[in-house]
A and B are shown apart, each in its own frame.
Chain A
Amino acid sequence: MNWKKFFIAFVACFVFVFVYEWVFHGMILKDSYAQLSALMRPKAEIKFPLLIAGQLVGSFFFTMIFVRGFGSGGGVAGGFRYGILLGLFLCGGIIITYAVQPFTSSLIIAWCIGGIIESAIAGAVVGALYKP
């Protein structure tokens, strides 16, 4: 395993996830969250360090799975395919959330589509940067 390339791919993945989620959740879906204020923390109570920690942990293991799976290098296409599969897997978790929490169906659909796109692009980024 090439640890230097792994670290670069992990950092790039995290930066992408941070920016993407800031735009997707913080801007595009902002009004949808405002309508569900009972289910979300008020802005002043949002725990940003934990938010960042979560994205770091997720990006780290997202990159790690790809690197372990594509020991000989998967490239952009391999990373994209990996991202799509993992995005679809995570979509299952989102649908379970809908089953037990009163989120709106339109928000759940947006999370699924946005999540698959995010995961696919993150996979392509990791695939482009990691070389064994």
Chain B
Amino acid sequence: MNWTKFLIAFIAAFVFIFFFGFVWHGILMKSSYMEIASHYRAHDDMQWGPLLLGHGIMALFFTCVYASFVTNGSLGAGAKLGIKIGLIFVGLYFIRFAVEPLTMKILVLGGIGDVLEFALMGAIVGEIYKPSTTNAPGM
């Protein structure tokens, strides 16, 4: 494990997903969320600590998965991993839509946003993180 590159990749991933989430969910999808405002916390009730923590955990363990499972690291390999993880989240959106009264617009835009977000995060991690040794299988 190349810890210096790992740390840089993790921080870059965290900064990216936090700002992507802010733009995608906080600005572009704001009107969609307002259609079912009672389903969400009011602005004053938002939990900013957990919001930051959640993004930090996602960036950290995405970088861990990439560093553990991808040997011939590259922007493309990272993006591919990100797309696959994004598609797991699409599955999770299906499940949430099945049990929570979300709108179709939130399902579609949320799913597209997650695939895009993780693909780009993967590309960033793939571009930055290079293993110090090559003893793990390739992606």
Chain A contact residues, CB within 8 Å of chain B: 38-41, 45-48, 50-51, 53-62, 64-65, 68-72, 74, 81-82, 85-86, 88-102
Contacts and interface: CB of A to CB of B under 8 A. Distances in A.
Nearest to A65: B84
Interface bracket on B:
35 or more
Contacts, number: 149
B54 A61 contact: no
Given A89-B62, A92-B57, A65 B92 contact: no
Contacts of A72: 137
Contacts of B55: 92, 96
A98 B70 CA distance: 31
B90 A57 contact: yes
A85 B65 contact: yes
A60 B92 CA distance: 12
Contacts of A46: 98-99
A95 B52 CA distance: 9
